[in-house]
Amino acid sequence: MIKKLKLKDIALLSLLAALMCVGDFAMEWLPNVHFVGVLVVATTAVYGIWALLPIYVYVFLQGFVAGFGLWWIAYLYIWAVPWLIVMLIPKKLPPKVKTILYIAVCAAYGFLFGTLYAPSQVILFFGGDFSKMIPWIIAGLPFDITHGISNLVLGTFLIYPIIKILKFSDKYAK
């Protein structure tokens, strides 16, 4: 059953979208290191389907700020990947197991970002020539390794506390 959103939920989801954007823009000087994956995973763990709201506000703000170029088209599907994987994690697992899985999803998403991005590159920039996809993925491995390690480290320290804060605010904010 989908939880009905209250005004405070909409306000909090809006703040999470803003945090995704600000966190990403603030960390631009350090390529592929940001809090967006952590916030996507934590928000999805608490809000489920409603996490798509801040995710897509973030995606569209990226387009508004950086320009709706061909690079942006992949953002329409790529940020839904960690959301979907977190949605598939059974809710009845022990909290420690879920937290470990959330961290693993966050890290794996960072390591696989270039691979997930590659199909759009092939279609939009390489004329559908999939033989160019593997070299493109290999060329991006240093960035994906950085992304994966940073998601692992940030996720390890931030996912559980963010989930606790979001659940606390959901339970006690009236």
Reduce the secondary structure of 56-104 to three states and give it as a string. HHHHHHHHHHHCCCHHHHCHHHHCHHHHHHHHHCCCCCCHHHHHHHHHH
**86 located within any domain:** yes
* Domain count of the fold of the chain: 1
Q: Is 33 left (phi over 0), alpha (psi -120 to 50) or beta?
A: beta
Name the burial class of residue 119, with classes exposed (0-12), middle (13-18) and buried (19+) by CB atoms within 10 angstroms of its CB.
middle
**166 located within any domain:** yes
pLDDT digit string, tens, across residues 54-71: 999 999 999 999 999 999
Name the burial class of residue 110, with classes exposed (0-12), middle (13-18) and buried (19+) by CB atoms within 10 angstroms of its CB.
buried
pLDDT digit string, tens, across residues 35-53: 999 999 999 999 999 999 9
**164 located within any domain:** yes
CATH of the domain at 159: 1.10.1760
User: According to the model, what pLDDT value does residue 170 have?
Assistant: 66
- Enter the tokens of residue 73: 């088209």
**74 located within any domain:** yes
Q: What is the mean pLDDT of residues 61-85?
A: 96
Least confident of 22-26, 99-103, 106-110: 22-26
User: According to the model, what pLDDT value does residue 174 have?
Assistant: 44
**22 located within any domain:** yes
Q: Taking each helix axis from N to C terminus, what angle separates 7-26 and 36-47, rounded to the nearest 10 degrees?
A: 160
**84 located within any domain:** yes
Total-model pTM: 0.94
Nearest to 39 by CA among 63, 12, 66, 77: 12
Of residues 84 and 2, more confidently modeled: 84
Q: Containing domain of residue 159, as a range? A: 7-172
Q: Is the pLDDT of residue 80 over 60?
A: yes
**1 located within any domain:** no
Whole-number Å distance between alpha carbons of 149 and 127: 32
pLDDT digit string, tens, across residues 115-169: 999 999 999 988 888 898 999 999 999 999 999 999 999 999 999 999 999 998 7
